[in-house]
A and B are shown apart, each in its own frame.
Chain A
């Protein structure tokens, strides 16, 4: 299949971009690690979570940190798509006898690969500083699928923003939106302790569902409704962004 071959060739190019950009690697891997270390060693002492010994705080926040890693990566996905659009690279590829959608798929594939790699590194740091899990192999598979699903969702969500943005800065600004959503979720503290208005928002937004599901799976607890809600959010947002993204892509 030429479509698959072309997608792999094109994503190979973008993986080189990621690996050769020190800035990308530092931001995407080092920033979440700093947040993790800061939360655990600086603020961890003052964090009081009911029924949770302080030593387990790292296990509490790790799922949120993993999603932050993915969200940070999306800024670079958007950046690379926007650069290819503005500097004419899309024109070159699209005037060639290759499948038109392979160009976008190449970006999506390399983005997801890069996000998963950086997430794995951050997870490794988590283990080093005391993260422990009771997850069974099946639960590990579910966690992996959920993280892949989240990476695909965030990547596709970045596509319409990246294509519509007039400037490179505009292209990556949406990822701050996702980061903001992550901070106003149960990532660092239970939503119950938030002011009422904020709490009801934080409780019902997609990030909280995904974080709770991953947290429960790591702890080998019953996932409950969060699992289904996560899947609905992830699939729904991905489909809408995919539809919007390809529509804009066909016009630029």
Chain B
């Protein structure tokens, strides 16, 4: 697949604060790239550099094969940016917001463009209401609709679902996945690991100014650790005997009273554990194998810092 965005050794400092210290990443055409990182790790700063709002100190960014700083005007025709703060105009109606962007993009029929997008984002009923009176979810939908005016190929979304309830978040995920189906390249930042897991083709962890880990969601989960077997036992007697019996395994007692067996050696370890328990007649209420999550990777990477 062709590379849509290439970031090479980008450095950026604010006064003495070295926020980005050699960021490298590539986003392939038609994919979703999720940039993860703790608060203040520089996600928004990187996005602003790629969209030409901030100058970088050193480094190189290429979009569509064009070097960014020298071709900014041309490159701006091909993308839209949704900043972290929702950038709809609360005093204008939804229709007027879209019409404004369509006029600024010099499209031939701003009214039609606005109405089509309202329809597509399920906002036709709210067309002539002021955006200040929209719900948070509606404002985010409008925000993204505004970014789609003029059909840009690339969308930059800075924390698109922050502050949304689970239902609105799911709706917005559908919207984002649909954009990908339409061939758009999407670069988003997020604090929600589940979001990256659901949407992204490629994830990058930004930390201490670098991308410290990158890969597909399943590759990233493996980085975080291994599967674990959770055992839930009916009483303290059973727990005590189980702990004694399983002393050869990497086992730990959890706060909720369950036992967690590390499956580093492979998932077959769980068969051995379960067989041992049943041959020694230790009662078991339930058990489950827990796959590693992005949370594990995230915590692991942050701890390693």
Contacts and interface: CB of A to CB of B under 8 A. Distances in A.
Given A9-B100, A96-B105, A97-B77, A87 B91 contact: no
A97 B73 contact: yes
Given A17-B91, A91-B48, A9 B85 contact: no
Given A92-B83, A96-B105, A97-B105, A16 B91 contact: yes
B222 interface: no
Nearest to A21: B91
Contacts of A2: 106
A91 B77 contact: no
Interface string A91-122: 11111111000000000000000000000000
A16 B92 contact: yes
Contacts of B87: 87-89, 91-92
Given A88-B87, A91-B83, A95-B52, 10 more contacts: A10-B104, A16-B91, A16-B96, A87-B85, A87-B87, A91-B53, A91-B81, A92-B82, A97-B76, A97-B77
Nearest to A92: B87
Interface string A3-18: 0011001100100110
A89 B89 CA distance: 8
Contacts of A5: 106
B48 A13 contact: no
B71 to A, nearest CB: 11
A175 to B, nearest CB: 21
B262 interface: no
A110 to B, nearest CB: 13
B226 interface: no
B51 interface: yes
Interface residues of B, number: 28
Contacts of B53: 91, 94-95
Contacts of B130: 20
Interface string B48-81: 1001110000000000000000000100110111
Given A2-B106, A9-B104, A95 B91 contact: no
Contacts of B127: none
B120 interface: no
Contact of B104 (A6, A20, A87, A91): A6
A88 B83 contact: yes
A123 B303 CA distance: 69
B103 interface: yes
Interface centre among B86, B89, B92, B146 (most CB of A within 10 A): B89
A79 to B, nearest CB: 12
A10 B103 CA distance: 9
B218 interface: no
B235 interface: no
B104 A98 contact: yes
B198 interface: no
Interface centre among A2, A6, A16 (most CB of B within 10 A): A16
B84 interface: yes
A20 B81 contact: no
Nearest to B73: A97
Interface string B170-188: 0000000000000000000
A106 to B, nearest CB: 10
A92 B157 CA distance: 12
A93 to B, nearest CB: 7
A16 B92 CA distance: 8
Given A10-B104, A13-B89, A88-B84, A96 B76 contact: yes
B82 to A, nearest CB: 8
Contacts of A21: 91
Contacts of B80: 95-96
A191 B76 CA distance: 56
Nearest to B102: A9
6 contacts: A9-B103, A13-B92, A16-B91, A20-B91, A92-B82, A95-B79
Contacts of A87: 85-87
A89 B51 CA distance: 15
A93 B104 contact: yes
Contacts of B83: 88, 91-92
Contact of A88 (B85, B101, B105): B85
A219 B96 CA distance: 46
A92 B52 CA distance: 11
Interface in A16-30: 16-17, 20-21
B90 to A, nearest CB: 9
Contacts of A13: 89, 92, 96, 100
Contacts of A88: 83-87
A224 B53 CA distance: 49
